[in-house]
């Protein structure tokens, strides 16, 4: 009986730890339905945890850094380090963080590559 209680306690603490790190990691407020879209050329990709980073030179000449999902999620979707290439022209869409001075797509929802029709999307909930 004490093993069951001990095992349940450990499991509960582990789940609590996962939940608390996830809450701490993601800012609480987003403008999920306030879409931000831009087009540009992919300059660099960093395949790091917890989110892959895309660096894009926009058509306006600005540099944008965009956080994508984590590498494990993309792997499950069949996307790897060869899917996007430096120089690809991309259309980026996402939601913005509330009260950002500079609007940046924080909640990335769509990446399109018009040259061949490739697209990745993850709908923003609540819109």
Give the Cα separation of 124 and 45 in Å (integer). 23
CB 95 within 8 A of CB 109: yes
Where along the chain do its domains lie? 29-121
Q: What tokens were used for 26? A: 């993601």
C-alpha distances in angstroms, 83 versus 15, 74, 88? Answer: 33, 10, 10
Against a cut of 0.85, is the pTM above it? no
Count of CB atoms within 10 A of residue 40's CB?
Answer: 22
Output the tens digit of pLDDT for each of the chain's 127 residues: 555 544 454 544 444 444 333 444 444 455 667 778 899 999 999 999 888 999 999 999 999 888 898 999 999 999 999 999 999 999 999 877 666 555 555 678 899 999 999 999 987 777 6
Architecture of domain 29-121: Beta Barrel (2.40)
pLDDT at 106: 67
């Amino acid at each position: 009986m004490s093993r069951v209680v001990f095992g349940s306690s450990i499991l509960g603490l582990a789940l609590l730890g996962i939940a608390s790190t996830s809450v701490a990691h993601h800012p609480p407020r987003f403008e999920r339905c306030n879409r931000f879209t831009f087009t540009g050329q992919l300059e660099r990709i960093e395949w790091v945890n917890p989110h892959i980073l895309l660096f894009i030179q926009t058509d306006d000449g600005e540099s944008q850094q965009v956080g994508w999902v984590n590498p494990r999620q993309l792997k499950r979707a069949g996307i790897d380090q060869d899917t996007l290439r430096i120089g690809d022209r991309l259309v980026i869409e996402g939601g913005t963080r509330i009260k950002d001075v500079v609007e940046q797509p924080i909640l990335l929802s769509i990446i399109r590559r018009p040259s061949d029709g490739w697209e990745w999307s993850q709908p923003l909930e609540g819109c």
